[in-house]
Amino acid sequence: MNQLNMRELFVQKESRERQKLKYYNQILERVHNKIRATSKMDVDNMYCYYLVPEFVLALPSYNQAELTTFIVTSLEKNGFKVMVTPPNLIFITWFHFSEEYELTRRLIEDEIRSREEERIQREKDAEAAEIDVGAVEKNKGAYIKKVTDYSPRAGLVYSSDALERLQEKMNSLKTME
């Protein structure tokens, strides 16, 4: 008696599913082409309609509702807003993306503009600082003293007696060694 091989059944079913997915992707590519064509033709229109065909020549028959669901899911994953009018009309829009794009573009432009203004302000500040440095260099003698010319004033932290005692202790430690 011949036995039914479950593995073979599973492999056949999986093969059919792969083929179906391949066909669905071919039709999805047509949807993408229609979106591209619409986008190129009229810049102001950010939407299009797609009528899911009942059949396609050279492709095996398929479940139209299942194909519609596949197309809608794929387009939504790509970021499109999609509405379906049963049984097979799909409305596709990408207008929301243009609004988000414009908002993002404005934010980036504002950031670039503010950074440019900050850079210009820093350059102005640096120029002003260079002018101040030049003025100081002209009056250099008035501000700078040599270290050897320094003479301590009264009221230091350590008196001269305390410093002498510290020196004596250090000398006595050296002699002990």
Is position 161 within any domain? Answer: no
Q: Do 44 and 112 belong together in one domain?
A: no
The token duo for 1 is: 């008696």
pLDDT at 169: 85
Lowest mean pLDDT among 21-25, 141-145, 159-163: 141-145
Helix, strand or coil, per DSSP, at residue 48: strand
pTM of the model: 0.52
Measure the CA–CA gap between 101 and 152, rounded to whole angstroms.
Answer: 69
Mean per-residue pLDDT over the chain, rounded: 82
Residues 87 and 99 in one domain: no
Per-residue pLDDT band for 153 (boundaries 50, 70, 90) equals low
**57 and 72 co-located in one domain:** yes
Let me know whether 123 and 99 are in one domain.
yes
Same domain, 124 and 45: no
39/117 same-domain check: no
Which residue range forms the structural domain that includes residue 43? 6-93
Q: Which residue is associated with the tokens 């065909």?
A: 53
Do 13 and 67 have their domain in common?
A: yes
Is residue 33 located within the same domain as residue 19? yes
Share of the chain above pLDDT 90, in %: 25
**55/77 same-domain check:** yes
Q: How many domains does the chain have?
A: 2
Final residue before a domain boundary, out of 67, 93, 119: 93
User: Do residues 18 and 74 share a domain?
Assistant: yes
The string of pLDDT tens digits covering residues 44-82 is: 778 899 999 888 888 888 888 999 999 999 999 998 999
Residue 48 contacts by C-beta under 8 Å, 6 or more apart in sequence? 34, 35, 38, 92
Can you say how many angstroms the Cα of residue 60 is from the centroid of all Cα atoms in its chain? 44
Output the domain CATH number for residue 78.
3.30.1370
Residue pLDDT, tens place only, 122-146: 888 887 776 655 555 555 555 677 7
CB 67 within 8 A of CB 31: no
69 lies in the same domain as 21 = yes
Residues 83 and 99 in one domain: no
CB 50 within 8 A of CB 90: yes
